[in-house]
Amino acid sequence: MEEKKINVLYVDDEPNNITSFRAAFRRVFNIFTAESAEEGRQVLDQEQIHVILSDQRMPKMTGIEFFQSILDSHPGPIRILITGYTDINAVIDAINVGQVYKYLSKPWNEEDVKNFIFKAYEVIELRQKNKELTEKLIEANEKLEFLARQNLLS
């Protein structure tokens, strides 16, 4: 797998966390960062992002609310929620409302984060292959229907 092609957006209101994340993963992924949900949305509007990691507790908008707000406009990226707090309701909301792929606790384990990003990217690749195969199947069915109609007319 060509590692550099994975574009990762990390959203966190704490600049130290952003610096740590970028330092830990910049050699493995293309890292984009934002200090708020609004900035995160701007990055999504300008870049093709594959995986989004967001802190849960941020001013103005939680990570779950951010994920929920981008579902219609940016449904493609895989979403991972990161939080320093263990809140079962946040976990349930993350899965049900924000369609979150994984839920990670702070402080994060670098190897776990890296593996989750790779696995998330595999999901994106599988979705793309599924879409391509579905399009080919539709095309093949249309050709078969055409041939069947031709045989009925002859």
Q: How far apart (Å, rounded) are the C-alpha atoms in residues 4 and 146? A: 44
Report helix, strand or coil for 105: strand
pLDDT in tens, 24-62: 999 999 999 999 999 999 999 999 999 999 998 898 998
Q: Out of 3.50.50.60, 3.30.2310.20, 3.40.50.2300, 3.40.50.12280, which CATH number does the structure's domain 3-126 have?
A: 3.40.50.2300
32's CB contacts (< 8 A; 6+ apart) are 7, 8, 9, 10, 43, 47, 49
Compute the mean pLDDT over every residue in the chain, rounded to the nearest whole number: 88
pTM, entire model: 0.81
More confident site: 32 or 81: 32
Q: How far apart (Å, rounded) are the C-alpha atoms in residues 134 and 130? A: 6
Report helix, strand or coil for 56: coil
19-23, 81-85, 128-132, 141-145: range with lowest mean pLDDT: 81-85
As a whole number, mean pLDDT of residues 1-19 equals 85
